[in-house]
Amino acid sequence: MKGNPFNRNLSWLIAYVLLLSCYVFILVDGGFLKNSVQELEALLGQTSLAIKLFLMVISIAFSIISLLVEYFLSKFLVLLFIEAGIVSLNDVLTAKSVTLVIHLVALLLKLPPSPLFQFVVNALGIVIMYGLSIKRQGNKATALLFCLPFTLDILVALLI
């Protein structure tokens, strides 16, 4: 796909945000986050704030911020340790979009979310990201450094 890389990355980011919005909407509306909604209602008490909408907006915002922080951290690591390393937001968004589609299908099939399933799907996303990065530049060290923050993220999520 030729064209401006900024426009291509922006298109992928918009597609990712739309997929993420669908995922969070199904997660909240399907009752998978029932305990979180009840805890927020107890914490906030009587309020005119729509708790489900608040939870959706916060979840989407934090997910996007987390994605961008991980991307910039991996870009920093590659620039710090690899002289001619190139990283692409497109690789990250492609891998994250694939994992979101798998999570969406699992939610639509009413599979209960489990930490092991999320770990396996997110690990698959990292393998996709690693493969795309190697394909883009052919350097395994750069691809490994690029995927490191995302790998640490899923390991921490598994421990929590």
- Alpha-carbon distances of 149 from 35, 52, 137, rounded to whole Å: 30, 30, 19
Report whether pLDDT(125) > 90: yes
pLDDT score for 73:
94
Hey, what are 119's tokens? 């770990």
Of 65, 68, 57, 69, nearest to 24 (Cα)? 57
Indicate the residue type of 121: V
Could you read off the pLDDT of 67-103 as tens digits, one per residue? 999 999 999 999 898 887 788 899 999 999 999 999 9
Domain that holds residue 128: 5-159
The pTM is what?
A: 0.84
Number of folded domains that form the chain:
1
Q: Give the range among 20-24, 51-55, 139-143, 147-151 with minimum mean pLDDT.
A: 51-55
Backbone phi and psi for residue 83, each to the nearest 5 degrees, phi listed first: -65, -50
| 28 class by beta-carbon count within 10 Å (0-12 exposed, 13-18 middle, 19+ buried) | buried
Distance CA 49, CA 63 (A): 21
